């Protein structure tokens, strides 16, 4: 008898892809087969997926990018993706379909709904994304990574947390080295970087008291177009810094950090809380429904992180906050402990349990 097949569908950002990777790792270990349905953007994040996961690129699109002609073609491309997904699912019927959000999840979820295949969604943020908003009333279960999550009337969610990759789980609740003679700061703006962090953080570091500034080693994720100027700014002020568009070893860097400066994306917060590190969070102001502020709320309330809205972010304010945290080792350690108490290192197992509970159902 063939092992049950899970079809995962996820859009092209790390926030969608990292939880999908975590679920794949967990269900493969339980004897399932796993197929990932994504688009070309999402495929860029599959390098660390287990080799056993079958990657299928689907025809999809978004109304958020491109000109008039590109937007007019979106429905046709989505319909083409649904047609291809239907053919695959008729050839080999999945036991369960899970959507993680993003337009590339539409074909798989729409086909699962039409064929009455057991299906669910996982929402990483405290506000449902556009696609998950549409499908929440049309699935068998809704798993929530952030709590509370605003849900449509009549829809019930289950709070499981945001699954983290195995590489993050290896550092769960890692011992925290309080600030001292040497201090490491990780600056990360989500899976695609953030220009505002490249504009503000180096200048804030430059304004730190000299003894603190000289103690630092910075790992700064910057977009390719910002990489050279960020590196130059650190060098001008004698700050040891690694600047790259993407770090492959973020979990290890978080584990070794005294402080993380980050966007408030769901995956970044999940990694921070599972590992347990103090943070300064700068929510993306243009995020749909201001969901990054919702994501950061629990950490702020637990005194695990400082939240700085973009409209209050400037080098002077950020420099003062960095100094406040790194100059008080006891406070930094308390923030690390508070973050770890919020972590859900078993979220992938709990999501896998929900998938297995759906197996055999239909609606």
Backbone φ and ψ of 145, nearest 5°:
-85, -30
What three-state secondary structure class fits 187?
A: strand
Q: Whole-prediction pTM value?
A: 0.90
Is there a contact between 90 and 116 (Cβ–Cβ < 8 Å)? no
pLDDT score for 235 = 97
Q: Locate 167 and state its tokens.
A: 């590489």
Radius of gyration of the chain (CA): 21
From 315, 275, 280, 324, select the one nearest 299 (Cα to Cα): 280
pLDDT in tens, the chain (363 residues): 789 999 999 987 778 999 999 999 999 999 999 999 998 888 888 988 999 999 998 865 554 545 545 555 567 778 888 888 899 999 999 999 999 999 889 999 999 999 999 999 999 999 999 999 999 999 999 999 999 898 999 999 999 999 999 999 999 999 999 999 999 999 998 755 689 999 999 999 999 999 999 999 999 999 999 999 999 999 999 999 999 998 989 999 999 999 999 999 999 999 999 999 999 999 999 888 899 999 999 999 999 999 999 999 999 999 999 999 999 999 999 999 999 999 999 999 999 999 999 997 755
Is there a contact between 330 and 256 (Cβ–Cβ < 8 Å)? no
Question: Strands 216-221, 279-281: parallel, antiparallel or unpaired by DSSP?
Answer: unpaired
Give the long-range contacts of residues 239-242, CB within 8 A, separation 24 or more.
239/202, 239/205, 239/206, 239/213, 240/216, 241/217, 242/217, 242/218
Using CA atoms, how far residue 250 sits from 165, 247, 286, 325, in Å, is 11, 6, 25, 21
DSSP structure class, residue 176: P
pLDDT score for 74 = 64
What three-state secondary structure class fits 281?
A: strand
Q: Locate 320 and state its tokens.
A: 């003062």
Q: Nearest-5° angle of CA 156, CA 165, CA 27?
A: 65
Is there a contact between 189 and 246 (Cβ–Cβ < 8 Å)? no
pLDDT score for 15 = 85
Q: Which ranges constitute the DSSP H helices of 207-314?
A: 210-214, 227-236, 250-255, 266-275, 291-301
Is there a contact between 150 and 172 (Cβ–Cβ < 8 Å)? no
pLDDT score for 71 = 53
Using CA atoms, how far apart are residues 202 and 229, in angstroms rounded to an integer?
10
Using CA atoms, how far apart are residues 359 and 96, in angstroms rounded to an integer?
6
Q: Which ranges constitute the DSSP H helices of 302-328?
A: 315-326
pLDDT score for 170 = 96
Q: Locate 147 and state its tokens.
A: 């709590």
Is there a contact between 283 and 295 (Cβ–Cβ < 8 Å)? yes
Reply yes or no: is the peptide bond before residue 148 cis, omega within 30 of 0.
yes
pLDDT score for 72 = 55
């Amino acid at each position: 008898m063939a092992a049950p097949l899970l079809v995962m569908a996820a859009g092209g950002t790390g926030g969608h892809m990292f939880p999908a990777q975590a679920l794949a790792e967990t269900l493969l270990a339980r004897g399932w087969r796993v197929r990932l349905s994504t688009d070309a953007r999402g495929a860029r994040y599959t390098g660390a997926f287990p080799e056993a996961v079958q990657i299928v690129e689907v025809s999809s699109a978004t109304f958020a990018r491109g000109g008039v002609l590109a937007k007019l073609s979106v429905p046709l491309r989505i319909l083409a993706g649904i047609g291809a997904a239907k053919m695959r699912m008729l050839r080999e019927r999945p036991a369960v379909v899970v959507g993680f959000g993003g337009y590339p999840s539409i074909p798989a979820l729409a086909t699962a709904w039409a064929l009455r295949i057991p299906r669910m969604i996982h929402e990483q943020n405290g506000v449902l994304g556009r696609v998950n908003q549409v499908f929440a009333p049309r699935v068998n279960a809704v798993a929530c990574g952030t709590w509370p999550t605003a849900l449509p009337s009549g829809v019930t969610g289950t709070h499981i947390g945001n699954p983290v990759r195995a590489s993050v789980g290896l550092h769960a609740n890692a011992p925290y080295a309080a600030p001292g003679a040497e201090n490491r700061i990780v600056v990360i703006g989500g899976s695609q970087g953030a220009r505002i962090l490249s504009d503000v953080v180096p200048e804030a570091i430059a304004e730190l008291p000299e003894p603190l500034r000289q103690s630092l080693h910075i790992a700064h994720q910057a977009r390719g177009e910002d990489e050279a100027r960020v590196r130059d700014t650190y060098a001008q002020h004698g700050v040891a810094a690694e600047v790259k568009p993407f770090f492959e070893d973020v979990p290890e860097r978080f584990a070794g950090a005294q402080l993380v400066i980050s966007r408030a994306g769901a995956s970044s917060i999940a990694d921070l809380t599972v590992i347990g590190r103090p943070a300064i969070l700068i929510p993306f102001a243009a995020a749909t429904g201001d969901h990054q502020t919702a994501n950061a709320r629990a950490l702020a309330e637990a005194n695990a992180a400082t939240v700085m809205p973009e409209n209050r972010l400037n080098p002077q304010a950020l420099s003062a906050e960095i100094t406040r945290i790194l100059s008080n080792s006891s406070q930094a350690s308390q923030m690390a402990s508070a973050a770890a108490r919020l972590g859900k290192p078993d979220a992938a197992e709990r999501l896998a349990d929900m998938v297995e509970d759906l197996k055999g159902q239909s609606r």
